[in-house]
Structure 1
Amino acid sequence: GKPVEEWFKDAEGGNLFLQVLREGNPVYRKEARLKIGRKRALLGISISPVRNRWGKLIGVVGTASEISSLKRARIEERIKERLMVMGEIALEVAHEIRGPLYGIQLLVQNLEQFLSLDIPEVRVQLQTLKDTAGRLTQMAGKLLDFGRKRELECRWIDLNQLWKDVVMEMNQALKARDLKVKFKFQELPLVYVDSEQMRMVLLNLLENAIDFSPAGKEILILSGMRQGKQNLRVWTQIRDQGSGIALAEHRKIFNLFYTTKPQGKGSGIGLAICKKVVQEHGGTIRVRKIKGWGGVFEIVLPISLEGENAQDFNS
């Protein structure tokens, strides 16, 4: 009983029907937004004129199909293709520059031995050169790790203990910023993961939390269990008290080379590696918005990969 244009958010769909009625020409696969209550959908609409036996236009008939998910999938596929090309180029560059960067680092070490470091300007410039070469070498290594296909070397581990080990490893960085880490763990079953790969993921997340936390604040690390579609899964979160991540950046934050850090501070590689590793374990990683906290990252993992039997925490 409603006029057709009232069904559409921007009246474009309704206008299409009126256009066909007025002009008598069909339209095919036009996009229009439909609003039903609070829900909105993107439709693909095709409309044809209906004529009587004498050719007089007496109405229109149309079909509409929901294409929101299809369009989103196509956009994501294009993004993936572009990222793959960027990744391949970056890997080639990383492979080519890592050797010369090692050479620069060795040259700086030799210069430190032969040049007088009593001159402050020389000492500062050599240290800057060494730090820059070291940072670029580390970035090249991360890129090569990202592109390298490797088999997971999984074993049963205590995820809570792995977090504690990572925090201990970053103890000096935490002290330098006067940051406190608080654990809020539930008792978990052992999880079947590649411990070195997962340690790298947790280390990346903790480094991010340290970078974005104001001095003297708290970082909270939590863990627990929840029911998945088919079986129990473990989850863990790390929360900082920084400024947080804008909602518009939640989907982009894991893209290769995308970073919210100031220029020269972040490479945009770490979180992309985190996502890749977590997905290889059959898990998910996402950014969450939680009142009272800044950046919040959550990982959800299956207790075991397909074909492996879960073990009790106390076994």
Structure 2
Amino acid sequence: MITTLSLENKLHRETAARHCAEQLLEEKSRELYKINQELLLRNQKIARQRKRLRTKVIELEETRQKLSQSEKMAVIGQLTAGVAHEINNPVAFIASNLDTLSDYLIDVIELIHKQQTCLMKLKVDHGHNTASTNSLLDDLSSFSHRIDVDGLLNDAKNLVSESVDGTHRVKKIVADLSDFSYVNAPQARAEDINDLLKKSVQIASSELKYKADVEWGLAEIPLVVCHEGKIGQVFLNLLVNAAHAIHGHGLIRLSTGQAGHKVWIEVADNGCGISSDYLPNIFDPFFTTKDIGKGTGLGLHVVKTAVEMHGGEISVNSKEGCGAIFRICLPIAGVTR
């Protein structure tokens, strides 16, 4: 009887314990399900946020590219008046040469007409020198002497040569501007950095010639694999900045050299220099010390971005009132993208 009661009590306790365990398991399962649902919702929320973030990153990159292009066009815009002047000079003397050639052409046409008249008269007279034929020949000789045929032809040859040179000059200016304003840079290729510097100075000549003399210190350096337009813009921005930093008439020195597997380029000026308070921030986007409306604050940021895109580095050494030296180092191997 005691044994039976003991077994019943034990069975009752085990049943009660199992019931409690089942209840606890059910509660924990509900909690776990709730947690899983919350995690699922959080994951879905994170996925949506990640998608929005990815979209924002793409938009920011597109905006950065547009701002970079805007800065490039802003620099070229600053040079537009000067470039127009550079183009106008050869166009002006080409127009003048064409006016002169037009006058020469009238004389040549008249000369040819007189020659044809003489030939026809000689043909009619069967080659005999009649009084009328002699008169025509004298008139032809007098006219030839008056217009100085030899001098006219030599001058016309020179005028045509000058005009052709002028068109080549205009073509080069336009081609250089096209290279620098090209939005989608072509595949990187081996470029002569010294030539790119010279091309940049040529494009910026209208901005530089009234502000500074350019002194050259170019060394023999290997070709660098780079995007011509982007590195050209780097040089153009630094040249324009150097010109703006000079009050009155100053000096800009351009130097190149090689150090190991890199080439270096220095753009130095004897302008107003940069305050030590500004130096840490000059490559930050939208940072500018110019008056409102006179600078986007993107120039040096675009420069730094382009240099770093090529695996290079840029640094500046400056003191207020003592000019500035910007030094760029580019790996010779450059970029492959």
Structure with larger Rg: 2
TM-score range, shorter chain: 0.3 to 0.5
Task: Name the one with the larger helix percent.
Answer: 2
| TM-score between the two structures when normalised by the length of structure 2 | 0.44
| TM-score between the two structures when normalised by the length of structure 1 | 0.47
Which gives a bigger RCO, structure 1 or 2 (Cα 8 Å, sep 6+)? 2
Task: Name the one with the larger strand percent.
Answer: 1
